[in-house]
Structure 1
Amino acid sequence: MSLTIEVPGASAGAPPPRGTGHAIVTRGLTKRFRGGQVAVDSLDLAVPAGSVFGFLGPNGSGKTTTIRMLLGLVRPTSGGCEVLGEPMPEGLAGALPRVGALVEGPAFYPYLSGEANLRRIDAADPTSDRRTAAHRIAAALDRVGLTAAAGKRYRAYSLGMRQRLAIASALLVPRELLILDEPTNGLDPQGTREMRGLVREIAEAGTTVFVSSHLLAEVEQMCTHVGVMRTGRLVAQGPIAELRSGGEPRIRIETPDPAAAARVLGALGLTGVREGDGEVSADLGAEAPERVNAELVARGVAVRGLAVQRPSLEDVFVGLTGEGFDVEA
């Protein structure tokens, strides 16, 4: 059974026509494994060129299988996909030199240093310029914060350092599209913040960035657009701002008399009224917050503070699907 989430400004329906400025387009993309397991089910995905697109979903929802099909590593059972205008996997030769990718635990030589590993990777790339290799490798290590550890053997790297090196390997040559599968995996909070900044910097330079993650909070802070997977199906996609607009804003009032404030909010027809210690909140609906404030003051309720809280992306999707995502960074 198909599950489609109706969100204003978003669509989980038909993909765009060809030639409409999308870096990735899939049409009915499906992958069934032996035994009948459906990993990806009729996926219609549209990733705008120049966006930072968050491919979001719990572990096991089909994200990595989708990425493997996009990169020609796995053949779809049915449907098709285009990457940078090239049909996959037929257009591998035309697309892959323009794509950088980090997919699930890239392999490096444990007894070589981080820098030596990047030299080997760069030498194997027929599109790279050997004359600029040293400069590009140094720049890639610097961008991910590994300059000081460039000479350290890979086997001595922490999980976070290994993740940084993998991303550096994807940045050795300028790319039109960068595909990152769980890029913040193993990073500490500081490293996670740096990675967010790096992704934004790459996007501002004109590269489309496709980020797969199960961490909703990271996607919300990093991405301009989002697609949400659940059990192999796309349940929503669109600009984050428009997805968030599908949630109900709440008004929160700080007051020494929350019980009286709650009665006023109820009289105004606001729903979802909740009292707390020194505050009261409610669904704002179509009511103007300034009218709420004026009504509270007119009825003798002291107002210490008033704020309208827009729903987070987590709030929206919990409301739509009845389930949450991992929000721990």
Structure 2
Amino acid sequence: MSSPAFADHGTVQAVRDPAELAISSAGLTKRFRSGQVAVNAVDLAVPAGSVYGFLGPNGSGKTTTIRLLLGLIGPTSGSHELLGEPMPGGSARVLPRVGALVEGPAFHPYLSGRANLRRLDAADRTVDPATARVRIDAALDRVGLRAAAEKRYRHYSLGMRQRLAIAGALLRPRDLLILDEPTNGLDPQGTREVRTLLGTLAATGTTVVLSTHLLSEVEQICTHVGVMHLGNLVAQGTLSELRARSAARAEVETPTPERAAATLRVLGLSDVSSAGGQVSALLGDVEPEKVVAALVHADVPVRGFAVRRAGLEEMFVQLTGEGFDVSG
């Protein structure tokens, strides 16, 4: 699926050299026995060192894609690589370098937060058991759970459970961190702390993939974005690339809106609308300077003129036809 707001009707690829990608996929597809295509020929390109916002409405295929990437389920067709290793063949080599939180946390309810992390750490055969306590304490500190480390997991709030899951992903240094809705259940302060943590990790070279439906998270911490809708990757690239390719509108403030609207139509602008003393229209390929010149030539008094590109929320609505949660 593609959007009419994008000239080439395709996804934007910021980086194509596989050597520069932490995650790459080609035609990654998952079709369930029911016939439902949950992921349809997805070509991901996640640059190494980026904070990649994997964005889409609930049910768009984000979590299924993540499960495919991590080898939790097998693809119907297509291929992918993590950190330069083909999957699933390279899973033993690459997965110890990958931290993940998928579909929410799941821990033993009657164990403490620390005990749960101790069991999780013990399952990793690639780390030194002698350093377990130091690493567990460091992970708890990073997510602000050191004071609640001895509390039983069943008494944790949803936000605390999310923090513990992130701590589990940080028990050892990671080259790639894949987080599915990591701020779910967090209060505003906790959300800010997680954003700061992810920014710090990215600054040290860790590639972060953040699956979310919150535009505020994307705007504040992401460098790149992939947009999923109905199993399709409908756009991909840097935030600035996607914004630059969104449909631009000319906005004219004038005491004669009917004459201005008629002039814009003659000039070839589309979707012309008028409200009060303001007229708006899609620019298309028409240069803004030509619009102003045409209005002056037609004796239309111009009190104000501006070119506005779609905001992030409007851009994603153009791509998917659905609204997004902009809170958080």
TM-score by length of 1: 0.82
Structure-to-structure mapping, 1:206-225, within 5 angstroms:
206-225=205-224
Letter in 1 for 2:316: F
2:255 equivalent to 1:260:
yes
Deviation at 1:171, TM superposition (A): 0.7
Partner in structure 2 of residue 93 of structure 1? 92
Deviation at 1:158, TM superposition (A): 0.5
Partner in structure 1 of residue 288 of structure 2? 287
Partner in structure 2 of residue 192 of structure 1? 191
2:310 equivalent to 1:315:
no
Deviation at 1:262, TM superposition (A): 5.8
2:107 equivalent to 1:108:
yes
C-alpha distance in 1 between matches for 2:85 and 2:22: 10
Partner in structure 2 of residue 34 of structure 1? 33
C-alpha distance in 2 between matches for 1:222 and 1:68: 23
Deviation at 1:33, TM superposition (A): 1.1
Q: Summarize the Cα distance change of 1:118–1:284 in structure 2 as closer, same or farther, 3 Å threshold.
A: same
Letter in 1 for 2:288: E
Deviation at 1:321, TM superposition (A): 3.6
Asked if the contact 1:11/1:238 (under 8 Å) is kept, the reply is no
Letter in 2 for 1:210: V
Letter in 1 for 2:155: A
Deviation sequence 1:147-201 (CA, Å, 0-9, x none): 2222211111100110011001101100110000111111122222222211111
Q: Summarize the Cα distance change of 1:205–1:252 in structure 2 as closer, same or farther, 3 Å threshold.
A: farther
Asked if the contact 2:2/2:319 (under 8 Å) is kept, the reply is no
C-alpha distance in 2 between matches for 1:87 and 1:22: 12
Letter in 2 for 1:95: V
Deviation at 1:13, TM superposition (A): 7.9
C-alpha distance in 2 between matches for 1:302 and 1:157: 59
Q: Summarize the Cα distance change of 1:100–1:263 in structure 2 as closer, same or farther, 3 Å threshold.
A: same
C-alpha distance in 2 between matches for 1:148 and 1:237: 41
C-alpha distance in 2 between matches for 1:31 and 1:284: 38
Deviation sequence 1:72-96 (CA, Å, 0-9, x none): 1101111111111111111110110
Residues paired across the two proteins, number: 316
Q: After alignment, is 199-208 or 103-112 more displaced?
A: 103-112
Residue aligned with 2:19, SS: coil
C-alpha distance in 2 between matches for 1:62 and 1:56: 10
C-alpha distance in 2 between matches for 1:17 and 1:309: 30
Q: Which runs of 5+ in 2 are unaligned?
A: none
Deviation at 1:229, TM superposition (A): 1.1
TM-score by length of 2: 0.82
Residue aligned with 2:226, SS: strand
Q: Summarize the Cα distance change of 1:32–1:134 in structure 2 as closer, same or farther, 3 Å threshold.
A: same
Q: After alignment, is 108-117 or 258-267 more displaced?
A: 258-267
Letter in 2 for 1:189: P
C-alpha distance in 1 between matches for 2:42 and 2:116: 36
Q: Summarize the Cα distance change of 1:98–1:180 in structure 2 as closer, same or farther, 3 Å threshold.
A: same
C-alpha distance in 1 between matches for 2:20 and 2:8: 18
Partner in structure 2 of residue 158 of structure 1? 157
